[in-house]
Every structure is written in C-alpha cells, then in structure tokens.
C-alpha cells in the first residue's frame, strides 16, 4: 500500500452498579460524562438539555439506547496507538466509576436484566427506533438495549480495493464472531448460544442488516452500494435539533422532494450521512469500512480485533491470501455461517471440518500481514492464537465457570469481566 491507511477502533460496554449489578441510570451516566468533561477536558455533546456524549481530539464517547458506553477512537496508524487510546479511556472511566460505586462490563450481551429493567437514554432517534423495531423483527429491542460490540473502521485505497476488503470482511465476520464470542447468558441463565449478540442480528430488520450478497456480484461498485442504501427504509430526518419521524418512508421519495414527513424538502449530505448510520450490515460502507461482527470483551480483545483485521487487509499479500481463502464460498455457505456460528462457535461444522480450522488459517494470515507491516504488532494476536489453537473462546470459558466455580449464577461475571 502506498499511502497511510488509518485504523479507528470502537467499543461498547455495559455500565452497572457495584451494589446489585443493575444497569446504570441516565443520571449516573451523565455524571461520568460530566466528570470526563471537568477532569480530563472532554467537550460535551448535547441534545437539548441532555448531555449525550463527549468528544476530544478526534475521539468521542457516545451512548447507545440502553446506556451502553461507546468509545469511538480517532484515526491512527498503528495498533499500538489505538490500544493506547483505549487504555487511556478505560483508565479515565475506571477512576470516575470507583468514586461513583459503578463499573463497566466487557461482554457481548447483558447477562442478567430484562429489557424492561434497562433505562432508555434521552436521544430522540432511540425513541423512534424503539417503536419501530418490533414491527420489522423479533430481536431489535435486544440489539438496542442489551448488546455490545467491538469494531474496527478501516480505509481502502480505491474502488477495487474497497470491493476486495468488503468481500473479505463479509465472508470472515462469522470467523471473528467465533473468535470473539462472549455472550452465552441472558436473564441470568445460559441460552445455548455462544454469541447472543451475533444471534440477535439474525432477526433485527432484514431490510437493513445481514451479509449483503450483492457485494460478491460482478457489478459491485460504490454506486451499487448507494442503490442498496437508497432502498433501505428511513428512520428519521434531523432538523433544528429535533428528530422528525420518517419511519418506513422512502429515501428516493425524499430525493424527489416527496417525503411525507417533510413535503417539498430535499435531503442534504448530512441527511445522507445520518441515513447511512441507520443501516446495520455485518460490514458497513461509509468513507471507510466498518467491521461489525464481534462481541464486546475485555481490553486485550478490543486491541486483538483491530490487529486481526489490520493483519488481514492492510498488507497486500495478506489481503490476497484472505481473498483466496473465501473466493469459492457460496452465498448459501456465508449465510449458513452467519446464522450457525453464534450457536456453535469454533465447533460449527463447515466443509467436512469445523470453523476452528478456518480460524487457524485466518489468524495465521493476519499474523503474516502484521509481521510484514513492520510495526511490531503481532503480540496483539496472542489471545486469538490461543482461542484458535484450543477451539475454546471466551463464552466457552464463562460457561465452564458458571457450571463450576460460580455454582450456576451469572452474578460473578460482573467481577470477572469488569474493566
């Protein structure tokens, strides 16, 4: 690659009270945000009278619908830099939380609480989404209020490069899910799944999520993705600090000035950028590619996700090897993996073997890519090498603890997986 390609890491975490493991309220979360502002110099992000995030030096902290606390990192050049950023953020929030009697949990799905137990954050778009989600899928509210992910945002150098990276990303998201699965519990019990978060995405809203089979067709292009995005039903239009309900309405009608929610008005580029944030495929295209297929987890796994994808597609030979690995997988096989891996993880049957054998190859390709990049980043893959070699991910270990040391209680997970 001839120019610098940026790395941006995002991770979500569940805030909870140390006294009873209940989820943090908005008022408690607002205290954390205000202390980040007063103590560490972050700038507030407001919606009306409510603080809904903070930002500093290209980084932002924002709130998901149930108060999941998300750090979106600044674009950086190496895994060391993105990991240092995560370290600094976790130090700051941990210091504040110790004073407030709260903590943050690194898991892919809330292990204990029902949706009705979880506070709703005061963001206008979430009120609209909460009404709409149950009309288009069975697990949209689970996604909104109970899931956490870690993702990495990566550059591309050209349209051709984007297509190659997009295809590798979509095909291998289930492998990332198997490696990073950490969400085997729901409402205090094992679910029979290893990635409850991954399973939720199988029925959120089929119009705006999934594996995007068209990306593998010969006519894939930037324009083809725009066509797809234009056909995704709208959620809202943001005007004068307010979210205007446009649920289920057509972007194409908006382009013609015929949006029922705003008749006679035409969209701006900000409207388009907002619309793109309401599309939730396994890999999402903006001015970069978002790899969205991994459960949230502990600090070392946040850094490992960035290392995995940088190793796979930020070095030419590794990208060719990754593309060759998945080039003959069919659309049916890719969809099979997307649906089955959340259940079986590394033990998912595939082509006469299991996903574990693919995971070993994937981690080896990433390791080679990082070695050739020359930034001494290979160490960040260590945990993934262990998972691939043993076939046991975080969810497997948590289930073992649940059935033995924890005496079939999920409460100890809050201390085990607290940042």
Token readout for 185 is 């519990």
Give the three-class secondary structure for 7. strand
Q: Rounded to whole angstroms, what are the CA distances from 358 to 88, 186, 396?
A: 34, 29, 18
* pLDDT tens for each residue of 101-151: 999 999 999 999 999 999 999 999 999 999 999 999 999 999 999 999 999
For residue 69, the cross-strand partners are 13, 63
Rounded to two decimals, the pTM is: 0.97
- Look at residue 3 in the predicted model and tell me its pLDDT: 55
Give the three-class secondary structure for 367. helix
* pLDDT tens for each residue of 347-381: 999 999 999 999 999 999 999 999 999 999 999 99
* pLDDT tens for each residue of 53-90: 999 999 999 999 999 999 999 999 999 999 999 999 99
Long-range contacts of residues 85-94, Cβ cutoff 8 Å, at least 24 apart: 85/9, 85/59, 86/9, 86/11, 86/299, 86/302, 86/303, 87/299, 89/59, 89/61, 90/299, 90/419, 92/36, 92/39, 92/40, 93/32, 93/36, 93/69, 93/419, 94/419
Identify the helix (H) or strand (E) that includes residue 31: helix 26-40
* Cα gap 344→191, rounded to integer Å: 12
* Cα gap 248→232, rounded to integer Å: 9
Mean pLDDT calculated for residue range 234-246: 95
């Amino acid at each position: 690659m001839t120019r610098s390609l940026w790395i941006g890491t995002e991770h979500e975490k569940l805030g909870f009270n140390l006294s009873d493991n209940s989820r943090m309220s908005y008022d408690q979360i607002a205290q954390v945000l205000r202390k980040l502002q007063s103590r560490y110099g972050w700038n507030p992000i407001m919606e009306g009278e409510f603080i809904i995030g903070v930002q500093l030096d290209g980084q932002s902290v924002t709130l998901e619908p149930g108060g999941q606390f998300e750090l979106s990192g600044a674009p950086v050049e190496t895994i060391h830099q993105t990991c240092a950023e995560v370290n600094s953020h976790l130090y700051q929030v941990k210091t504040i939380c110790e004073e407030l009697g709260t903590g943050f949990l690194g898991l892919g799905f809330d292990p204990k609480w029902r949706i009705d137990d979880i506070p709703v954050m005061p963001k206008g778009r979430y009120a609209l989404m909460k009404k709409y989600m149950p009309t288009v899928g069975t697990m949209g509210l689970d996604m909104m209020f109970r899931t956490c992910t870690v993702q990495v945002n990566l550059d591309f150098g050209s349209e051709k490069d984007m297509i190659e990276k997009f295809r590798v990303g979509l095909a291998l998201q289930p492998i990332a899910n198997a490696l990073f699965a950490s969400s085997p519990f729901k409402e205090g019990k094992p679910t029979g799944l290893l990635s409850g978060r991954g399973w939720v995405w199988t029925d959120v809203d089929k119009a705006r999520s999934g594996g995007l089979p068209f990306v593998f067709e010969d006519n894939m292009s930037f324009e083809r993705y725009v066509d797809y995005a234009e056909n995704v039903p709208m959620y809202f239009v943001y005007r004068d600090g307010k979210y205007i309900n446009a649920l289920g309405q057509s972007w194409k009608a908006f382009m013609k000035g015929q949006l029922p929610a705003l008749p006679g008005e035409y969209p701006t580029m900000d409207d388009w950028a907002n619309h793109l944030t309401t599309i939730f495929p396994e890999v999402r295209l903006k001015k970069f590619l978002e790899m969205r297929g991994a459960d949230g987890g502990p600090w070392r796994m946040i850094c490992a996700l960035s290392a995995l994808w940088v190793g796979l597609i930020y070095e030419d030979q590794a990208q060719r090897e990754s593309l060759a690995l998945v080039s003959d997988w069919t659309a049916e096989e890719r969809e099979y993996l997307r649906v089955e891996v959340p259940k079986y993880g590394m033990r998912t049957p595939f082509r006469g073997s299991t996903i574990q054998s693919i995971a070993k190859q994937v981690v080896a390709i990433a390791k080679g890519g990082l070695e050739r990049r020359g930034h001494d980043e290979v160490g960040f893959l260590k945990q993934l090498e262990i998972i691939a070699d043993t076939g046991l991910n975080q969810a497997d270990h948590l289930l073992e603890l649940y059935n033995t040391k924890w005496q079939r209680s999920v409460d100890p997970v809050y201390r085990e997986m607290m940042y």
